Amino acid sequence: MRATTPTSIVSLLTKRFVDSADEVALWTKSNGWQSQTWADVGRNVMRMASWLVGQGIKPGHRVAQFSENRSEWLVSDLAMHVAGAVHVPIHAPLTGEQAAFQIADSGADLVLLSTTEQVDKIAAREHELPPDLKCYVYDECDRSIGRRRCHVLSDELPEYDEVMSASLIDAAVTRATGEMLATILYTSGTTGEPKGVMLSNQNLVSNTLAAIEPFAQDSNDLRLSFLPLSHIFARTCDLYTWVASGSQLALAESRDTAIADCGAVRPTLLNGVPYFFEKLASALADVDPTTAPDALRDVFGGRIRLCCSGGAALPDHVFDFFMQRNVPLLQGYGLTETSPIITLSSEERFKRGSVGRAIPDVEVRIADDGEILTRGPHVMLGYFKNPAATDEVIRDNWFHTGDIGHLDDEGYLFITGRKKELIVTSGGKNIAPVYLESLLTQDPLIAQAVVIGDDRKYLTALIVPEYSVLDAEILSAGLVIADSRDVLTDSIVLKLIEEHIASRLSGVSHYEQVRKFVLLKQGFSVESGEMTPKLSLRREVIQSNYCDSIEAMYTGE
């Protein structure tokens, strides 16, 4: 890192409070959209930091947060940087068992909970929690967790004290080093217990500054944030870039209201996952761009100038849809273990199908077996209390991503599959299911797809139809379904889907063809445990849930 580069999030935060005190910083929805200035945010952060210190939280102590996105989430996160605490964010949709594991494994001294629902989740696992754990809740709550009373946080916070705040912030800036552990994030693995990824100040700051370097931002830019802040993508690329750039941030009411919220706050910037952009493209597919050239831009409120996609592979047809309508949709690539950005596209430098080029100070190379390796200031400190797992992925200072890809002559990275997700058929053929699934879901008739075939003679798939498109196609073709209750097993519908699958896979080899498939009534979701919070498929969970249907495709039953 360059000598003049800030080395801690608290340094970025202090500069922002001084430089932008009277400028609008944050928008939240409560009886309409309400704004706060950076001075307002600063006072709330310092009240929270003072309270944490008063609770006995010392530098290095772990503080867990089990909450959906809300203003308290980001205030608490920034306050933990001031107090020197290690933030352990827990994804809001997780079960009580999963949350209790992360609280206990991290050795948290204190947990912040958003609602009575989250309180009830961990109350059911009370016996698994650290014995001295303190529990506080954002909403009004009269619950207890075993013998622990859940205090309402707003009743506990002190009044803003300017002198004490100045003392706290000075101490924080002096104390915070690049090597200091800032957060532990538990990866949402598909099998086994998740691992705690340890990220330092240097990891977060270097990645934040690299994320804003290609995109000019100022106080007039507004970013709508709807991805979970408990995941590093939104935390670095929404929250910390907001602090570093001095732009405005609007917290979507929920991920389901993101489009409606766009119409209200009219963002200029937006980060999302491919699933979000693909659903939007599908919804506008019938709108003729020659007669309604601004239809896509209007959906975002009319001011959008840039969208970024990450977390999974972006289908080329979605990229094309956005670019043809003059709304740049650029890809980046990374993992929780890399803070997260490894490569990034920009408005001047991008290629169709590529996830961009390495960000500043980051190296990328391709191993002999095609695996993507990286090293630099973005690579995690390691897995919490798990040196064996750390040594498995960091070798000779190179982090092994587990993804397969290639670099072109200009340094653009292309992802072709996941090393750990490679299907090896019983005939010895290596197949990347992610690639085939991206081809299938390009079809408007297919909402989701999971390709299966490890140690099998041929490939099969679980298909979730896009029901609105299916209904329209049945109607327009004048097809007669014998029994609407059995639409997913009707021979006419199955033949229709089969033709669409064959068309989408017409360009791949014979051993990459899907020979059989099953149509599913409902889609995969985070709530069902079949997708991670960043909307990646949990393959083992899905295959376990549908094991009978899968076996039937191979036994013919």
pLDDT tens by residue, 367-404: 999 999 999 999 999 999 999 999 999 999 999 999 99
Residue 277 lies in a domain: yes
CATH at residue 143? 3.40.50.980
Residue 76: what pLDDT?
Answer: 98
Q: Are residues 377 and 272 in the same domain?
A: yes
Establish if 349 belongs to a structural domain.
yes
Q: Is residue 119 part of a domain?
A: yes
CATH number at residue 459: 3.30.300.30
88 shares its domain with 139: yes
Q: What is the pLDDT of residue 127?
A: 94
For the record, the structure tokens of 173 come out as: 């800036």
- Answer whether residue 123 shows pLDDT above 50: yes
Q: Do 406 and 309 have their domain in common? A: yes
Mean pLDDT over residues 266-277, rounded? Answer: 93
What pLDDT is stored for residue 509 in this prediction? Answer: 77
> What pLDDT digit, counting tens, does each position of 2-28 carry?
445 788 999 999 999 999 999 999 999
pLDDT higher for 1 or 118?
118
Going by the DSSP 8-state scheme, the letter that residue 180 receives in this structure is: S
Claim to verify: residue 406 and residue 430 sit in the same structural domain: no
Q: Is the pLDDT of residue 191 over 70?
A: no
Q: Same domain for 243 and 304?
A: yes
Average pLDDT over residues 296-301: 96
Closest of 317, 327, 304, 314 to residue 274, by C-alpha = 314
More confident residue, 38 or 314: 38
Distance of CA 81 to the CA centre of its chain: 21
Pick from 128-132, 266-270, 396-400, 433-437: least confident: 433-437
In a domain, 462, yes or no: yes
Provide, rounded to the nearest whole percent, the portion of the chain with pLDDT above 90: 76
pLDDT at 4: 59
Task: Please say if the pLDDT value at position 290 is more than 90.
Answer: no
Of 419, 448, 480, which one is at a domain's C-terminal end? 419
Residue 196 lies in a domain: no
Q: pLDDT digit string (tens) for 235-261?
A: 999 999 999 999 999 999 998 999 999
* Same domain for 226 and 78: no
Smallest CA-to-CA distance from 63 within 34, 37, 32, 87 is with: 87
Q: Does residue 330 form part of some domain?
A: yes
pLDDT range class, residue 427, cuts 50, 70, 90: low
pLDDT for position 484: 54
Cα separation, 235 vs 24, whole angstroms = 20
- Whether 378 and 431 share a structural domain: no
Domain containing residue 106: 36-176
At residue 99's C-alpha, the angle toward residues 94 and 101, to 5°, is: 135
* Same domain for 440 and 411: no
Among the ranges given (45-54, 102-111, 274-283, 386-395), the one the predictor scored with the smallest mean pLDDT: 274-283
Among 390, 419, 448, residue at a domain's last position: 419
55 falls in which pLDDT band (50, 70, 90)? very high
Which residue would you say has higher pLDDT here, 158 or 509? 158
Mean pLDDT of the chain: 92
CATH number at residue 216: 3.40.50.12780
The residue to which tokens 């690049």 are assigned = 178
Residue 212 lies in a domain: yes
What confidence score (pLDDT) does residue 1 get? 38
Based on the domain organization, do 413 and 309 belong to the same domain? yes
Number of independent structural domains in the chain: 3
CA pair distance 548, 557, nearest whole angstrom: 10
DSSP letter for each residue of 415-429:
EEEEGGG-EE-TT--
Residue 186 within a domain: no
**End position of a domain, from candidates 402, 419, 436:** 419
> How many other CB atoms are there within 10 angstroms of residue 476's CB atom?
8
Selected residue with higher pLDDT from 482 and 474: 474
Element (H or E) spanning 9, and its range? helix 9-19
For residue 216, what pLDDT is reported?
Answer: 85
Are 139 and 46 found together in one domain? yes
CB-neighbour burial class of residue 94 (10 A; exposed 0-12, middle 13-18, buried 19+): buried
Does residue 540 sit in the same domain as residue 520? yes
What does 509-553 look like in DSSP terms, one character per residue? -GGGSEEEEEE-SS---TTTTSB-TT--B-HHHHHHHTHHHHHHH
Same domain, 325 and 393: yes
Residue % of the chain over a pLDDT of 70 = 97
Residue 186 in this model has a pLDDT that exceeds 50: yes
pLDDT of residue 425: 80
